[in-house]
Amino acid sequence: MTIRKMFFLFWTTVALGIVTAPLASLFVKLIYGSLGVGFTSILWAGVLFGVVAQMGFFAYLVFNMVAKGFIRNPYVYQALQLLAMAGVLIWLFQISAEKTGTPGPWILPSVILGVAWVAAWFKVKATTRASWIPALFFMVVATVLEAIPSLEQNSFPMILLMVLVLLVCNTWQMMQLHRLLESKEEDRQKSRTR
């Protein structure tokens, strides 16, 4: 991936965070009432969430590359991803159960898993069936790990706000990756034919 494409992914993810944060805050306000945060703070939160999503995405790419180097069998690697994903969802359920003000400990894991399922389905439609488990793993595990700062809050609306913005940003990045890499392969093929 070229620097130009990395900048494109970075700035579009941050812009998406800026646009999504106010929309997500309106959605959360409709359900839970006022968040007690001004519009400017919501915009800055969108910038922060976009940057956090971007850091998580590149951390996942590095982790994936290293893990594939150690675990050569793709079936074993996918099984380990499913186990890790299940462990993270169980941990999230336990954290949600301990929080006061959480309407139900199953809501947050269900939202994350539901959005991840839909995003992984679109990823498979855009690429190959082999991308199903990695896409699901990234959407669940990366989103939960990126949302850890908000999980320490005792305000479920604020947790939900961060999780919703992270889910949108992570979906965007995941769906852009194959497009950016495909264009790199096309550039290589064009240079070979010249």
Q: What is the pLDDT of residues 99-154, one digit of tens each?
A: 756 677 888 999 999 999 999 999 999 999 999 999 999 999 999 999 998 888 77
DSSP E strands in 48-151: the ranges are none
- Structure confidence at residue 113 (pLDDT): 95
Residue 31, pLDDT above cutoff 70: yes
Of residues 184 and 27, more confidently modeled: 27
The percent of residues in the chain predicted with pLDDT above 90, rounded, is 64
Arithmetic mean of pLDDT over the chain: 88
- For residue 83, what are the CA distances in angstroms to 5, 65, 160? 33, 19, 25
Residue 59 CA to chain centroid, in angstroms? 12
Please report, for the chain, the start and end positions of each structural domain, with discontinuous segments joined by +.
3-193
Tokens found for residue 92: 């999230």
pTM exceeding 0.75:
yes
CB 108 within 8 A of CB 96: yes
Could you tell me how many residues make up the chain? 194
